[in-house]
């Protein structure tokens, strides 16, 4: 693939995978405002996040097999249109309950971009080149966690929380136009998988029996769950507990995203010399250490706010190594049903993410402990999967 085509594809797919971080990170600074404006239960405000994760998880179960059957573009159109409708519903809702429902619709639609983007990468590249492309996508989509919360904080201060969802509506319209005008179909008719619901369920059952596939999926899921605990807990911990102004929250959140982007680009260089599996093993150990330090700070308060921010930075940055390599290794095993494999991976990640986000809210006790302890548990879980399920891999030229 020519370098210009590669760059255009990376920008387009990176934009499609940015639906989740844009939709999550832009409205995080509005959590305290939503609670005050609607006089709502903090758990219900938290549900606007966890229900978005539920939508992301459920939707992927359908888009993956459907894209294997009908190609990648048509399901993508449907998903983006649903996302636009959910964003408009969110902007116009008169209640927190309505916002929870709108966020579910947003999630059902927005997940199409993520699951189909991964499938397109598998359509076009082998395992090593898939890891490189997925790393490149993280550079593009990594801008969202930097810019979205900053923009969300400024929009909140200037125009109110509804303006955030109008901007997300515009983002959906932009992605729909970009997909229609630029994206080429990557799955030709002769490679499509016939069948309906029964075939889809059979494919999922087949994937669930592949223990090595599951090991990679669950390692990535554990690390993503730690990220979701951070996303769900950090607005309260930063703004309410440590007194960070809502309009400044985005700068701290964005700083962690800079670490993620830097790690993803280091990963890109390491892939020229080491296998994705060797990089994965080392980075999972690093994530586990950082996650345990986050839990220690949350439980004891040792180090104060800086003692929390530093290990959080490294735990979030670890995702830049772990996410592309677990995805590439898992997807490489099942190119024939890439849509279903991508959906299975996404269902696990966002299903567990929804549970973790809800758990942070349910365990809320006015401290950083729920967020920190859950992140530590995720780090230990990822490490255990590496030690028990995945064999160490040496340099490629060994």
Sign, CA dihedral 155-161-165-170, equals negative
Question: Is 279 among the domain residues?
Answer: yes
Torsion of CA 106, 107, 111, 112, to 10 degrees: -40
Specify the higher pLDDT residue, 53 or 222. Answer: 222
Beta-carbon contacts of 143 under 8 Å, excluding residues fewer than 6 positions away, are 18, 257, 261
Q: What is the pLDDT of residue 169?
A: 96
- Assign 195 a pLDDT band (cuts: 50, 70, 90): low
List, for residues 152-165, the tens digit of each pLDDT value. Answer: 888 988 898 999 99
Question: Over 90: is that where the pLDDT of 330 sits?
Answer: no
Q: Is residue 364 part of a domain?
A: yes
Decide: 316 and 81 in contact? Cβ < 8 Å: no
Residue 174 token pair:
């932009």
Q: How many percent of the chain have pLDDT more than 70?
A: 93
Highest mean pLDDT pick, 2-16, 68-82, 190-204: 68-82
- C-alpha angle 191/109/131, rounded to 5°? 50
- When mean pLDDT is compared across 36-50, 168-182, 365-379, the lowest value belongs to 36-50
Q: What is the mean pLDDT of residues 182-206?
A: 78
Look at residue 397 in the predicted model and tell me its pLDDT: 33
Q: Please give the angle made by the CA atoms of 170, 176 and 181, to the nearest 5 degrees.
A: 125
Tokens 């059902």 -> residue: 108
Of 229, 289, 362, 377, whose CA–CA distance to 237 is shortest? 229
Residue 242 reports pLDDT greater than 70:
yes
The pLDDT of residue 166 is above 90: yes
Q: Is 2 helix (H, G, I), strand (E, B) or coil?
A: coil
Q: How many domains does the chain have?
A: 1
Judged on CB neighbours under 10 Å (0-12, 13-18, 19+), 197 is exposed
**How confident is the model at residue 107, as a pLDDT?**
92
Distance separating alpha carbons of residues 168 and 15, to the nearest angstrom: 13
Domain of 384, in residue numbers: 9-184+193-389
What value does the mean pLDDT of the chain take?
84
What span, in angstroms and rounded, lies between the C-alpha atoms of 237 and 366?
A: 9
Residue 320 sits in a domain whose CATH number is 1.20.1250.20
Cβ neighbours around 174 below 10 Å, total: 12
111 within 8 A of 60, measured Cβ to Cβ: yes
Q: Which helix (H) or strand (E) holds 318?
A: none
Q: Is residue 223 part of a domain?
A: yes
Q: What's residue 398's pLDDT?
A: 32
- pLDDT digits over 248-266, tens only? 887 887 788 788 888 888 9
Three-class HEC string of 232-262: HHHHHHHHHHCCCCHHHHHHHHHHHHHHHHH
Q: Is residue 394 part of a domain?
A: no
Of 308, 151, 269, 280, which is closest to residue 220 (Cα–Cα)?
Answer: 280
2 lies in some domain: no
Residue 145 has pLDDT above 70, yes or no: no
285 found inside a domain: yes
Query: 127-143, pLDDT tens digit by residue?
Result: 677 777 877 777 666 67
- If you write DSSP's letter for every residue of 162-208 in order, what string do you get? HHHHHHHHHHHHHHHHHHHHHPPP-S-GGGPPP--HHHHHHHHHHHH
pLDDT band at 277 (very low <50, low <70, confident <90, very high): confident
- Cα–Cα distance, 220 to 324 (Å, whole number): 9
Best-predicted range by mean pLDDT among 146-155, 203-212, 279-288? 279-288
Assigned token pair, 168: 């997300």
Q: Which residue has the higher pLDDT, 151 or 342?
A: 151
CB under 8 Å to 5, separation ≥6 — which residues? none
CA 131 to chain centre: 16
Looking at per-residue pLDDT, the higher value among 251 and 322 belongs to 322
Domain-located, residue 397: no
**Residue 3 falls inside a structural domain:** no
């Amino acid at each position: 693939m020519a370098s210009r085509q590669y760059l255009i594809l990376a920008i387009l797919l990176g934009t499609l995978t940015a639906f989740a971080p844009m939709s999550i990170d832009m409205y995080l600074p509005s959590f305290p405002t939503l609670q005050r404006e609607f006089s709502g239960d903090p758990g219900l405000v938290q549900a606007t996040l966890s229900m978005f994760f539920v939508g992301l998880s459920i939707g992927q179960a359908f888009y993956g097999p459907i894209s294997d059957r009908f190609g990648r573009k048509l399901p993508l159109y449907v998903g983006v249109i649903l996302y636009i409708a959910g964003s408009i519903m969110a902007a116009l809702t008169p209640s927190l309950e309505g916002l929870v429902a709108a966020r579910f619709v947003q999630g059902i639609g927005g997940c199409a971009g993520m699951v189909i983007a991964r499938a397109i990468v598998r359509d076009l590249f082998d395992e090593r080149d898939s890891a490189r492309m997925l790393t490149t996508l993280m550079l593009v989509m990594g801008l969202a966690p930097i810019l979205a919360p900053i923009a969300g904080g400024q929009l909140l201060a200037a125009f109110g929380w509804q303006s955030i969802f109008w901007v997300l509506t515009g983002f959906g319209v932009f992605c729909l136009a970009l997909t229609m005008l630029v994206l080429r179909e990557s799955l030709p008719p002769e490679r499509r998988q016939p069948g309906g619901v029964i075939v889809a369920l059979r494919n999922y059952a087949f994937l669930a029996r592949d223990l090595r596939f599951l090991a990679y999926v669950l390692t990535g899921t554990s690390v993503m769950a730690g990220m979701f605990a951070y996303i769900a807990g950090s607005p309260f911990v930063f703004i309410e507990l440590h007194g960070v102004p809502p309009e400044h929250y985005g700068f701290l959140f964005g700083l962690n995203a800079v670490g993620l982007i830097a790690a993803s680009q280091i990963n890109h260089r390491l892939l020229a010399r080491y296998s994705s599996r060797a990089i994965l093993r080392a980075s999972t150990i690093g994530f586990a250490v950082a996650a345990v330090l986050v839990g220690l700070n949350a439980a004891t308060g040792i180090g104060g706010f800086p003692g929390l921010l530093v290990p959080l930075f490294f735990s979030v940055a670890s995702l830049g190594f772990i996410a592309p390599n677990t995805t590439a290794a898992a997807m490489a095993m099942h190119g024939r049903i890439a849509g279903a494999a991508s959906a299975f991976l996404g269902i696990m990640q966002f299903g567990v993410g929804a549970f973790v986000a809800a758990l942070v809210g349910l365990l809320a006790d006015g401290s950083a402990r729920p967020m920190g302890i859950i992140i530590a548990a995720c780090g230990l879980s990822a490490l255990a999967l590496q030690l028990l399920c995945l064999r160490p891999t040496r340099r490629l030229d060994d």
